[in-house]
Amino acid sequence: MTIADLRQQRLIIFEAISGSRAYGTNLPHSDTDLKGVFVLPEDQFFGLDYLPQVANETNDEVFYELRRFVELLLKNNPTVLELLGTPPDCVVYQHPLFAQFRPRDFLSKLCRQSFAEYAVAQIRKAKGLNKKINHPEPPGRKAVLDFCYVTVGAGAQPAATWLARQGLRASQCGLANVPHLTDLYALFVDRTPTQSLGYRGLVRDPEASQDVQLSAVPKGEVPVAYLSFNRNGYSSYCRVFREYWEWVEKRNKERYANTVQHGKNYDAKNMLHVFRLLQMAEEIARTGQLHVRRPNREFLLQIRRGEFEYAELVAEAEQLVERVDAAFAASALPEAPDTATAEETLRQVRRVFYAQRPGPASKPEV
């Protein structure tokens, strides 16, 4: 089922413009995002394949099935709660039945987690982006040998340095496990002209190997040193390297260009949403009301334009998190929405919606 099918079959009970145009932070080039709620046809709802949501290819148009919509409301999901607070000028269509879903019936102390903790996650994301921008990974990937160290006296040297200083090739070397010691290997060297001892080297493939390579060592051979493989360091490096280049490949080019342009090395749109979410959370805790259209458009756009220093914004956001925590601790909001009442509203809306729709055509008698 597609969004076009929902429209054609008149299954949509609410549709609204969401995102920056609803928040009041849109710019002339901003996209128009759509979100809404639909009701599955009765025969499909009682069948085996429940469809929780329908979206377009770019995911900027998303419609939630009525049951999924209520499930997310009960979790105080910010994206779905915001639909209940959509500014009138952003409402595209509203079925009379949708009026039964009111913000005051769902706002609770769960918003502290759903709004504020999501904002905290965005701060961590911004910090990660800041690190990616300021500490880019070089395109050449490090190898296992870069994380290997050879004992020298009471210290150690990088394996490549040790080999160079000894005038050795890695292919002349062999490794053997040292019992009871993890990632520590006895290092043997074959100095025979024809490398008759048959050592296999330190790694199988210097570019692609994920581990060191062991060799069969003839009896009586004495290790010249010991080699330690920093396996945890190598594993962490591989993860960071992979994540960095996946980010380079998948990053939003327009947002990255904006980040480079304002020169503050943080995703300004990301930080805008941090403050929007935290301010909404504080308002919910103190007033019990949901305000989607933001009253401080210019401040939020200043963030988006990169007019503040990154450290300044993070510090201010962390102070705002503390205020949000205090506001929810003193709030008169319930701990969570009333599930039983929400479920009854869900049943009533679905029953009435199905009752108002023409039923399937009856089969002709034979």
How many domains does the chain contain in total?
3
Residue 182 and residue 161 in one domain: yes
Instruction: Between 111 and 242, name the one with better pLDDT.
Output: 111
- Say which DSSP state 211 is in: S
For 96, the domain range is 1-101+337-366
* Helix (H/G/I), strand (E/B), else coil: 76: coil
Is 237 part of any domain?
A: no
Helix (H) or strand (E) segment spanning residue 91: strand 91-94
Residue 168 and residue 313 in one domain: no
In this prediction, residue 130 carries a pLDDT of 58
Is 199 part of any domain?
A: yes
Which of 248, 184, 174 shows the shortest CA–CA distance to 214?
174
> What pTM did the predictor assign?
0.65
Which of 76, 57, 233 shows the shortest CA–CA distance to 145?
233
Burial letters 189-211, b for 16+ CB under 10 A, else e: bbeeeeeebebebbbeeeeeeee
Distance between terminal CA atoms of the chain? Answer: 32
pLDDT in tens, 242-254: 887 887 776 655 5
Residue 73 and residue 14 in one domain: yes
pLDDT in tens, 255-305: 555 544 554 556 778 889 999 999 999 999 999 999 999 999 999 999 988
Task: Estimate the crossing angle of helix 310-329 against helix 268-287, to 10 degrees.
Answer: 20
Residue 226 and residue 151 in one domain: yes
In this prediction, residue 244 carries a pLDDT of 79
Residue 149 and residue 224 in one domain: yes
Residue 173 and residue 129 in one domain: no
* Helix (H/G/I), strand (E/B), else coil: 173: strand
* Helix (H/G/I), strand (E/B), else coil: 62: strand
Residue 6 and residue 46 in one domain: yes
In whole angstroms, give the CA distance from residue 145 to residue 170: 10
What are the backbone angles phi and psi of residue 62, rounded to the nearest 5°?
Answer: -130, 130
What's the pLDDT band for 126 if we cut at 50, 70, 90? Answer: low
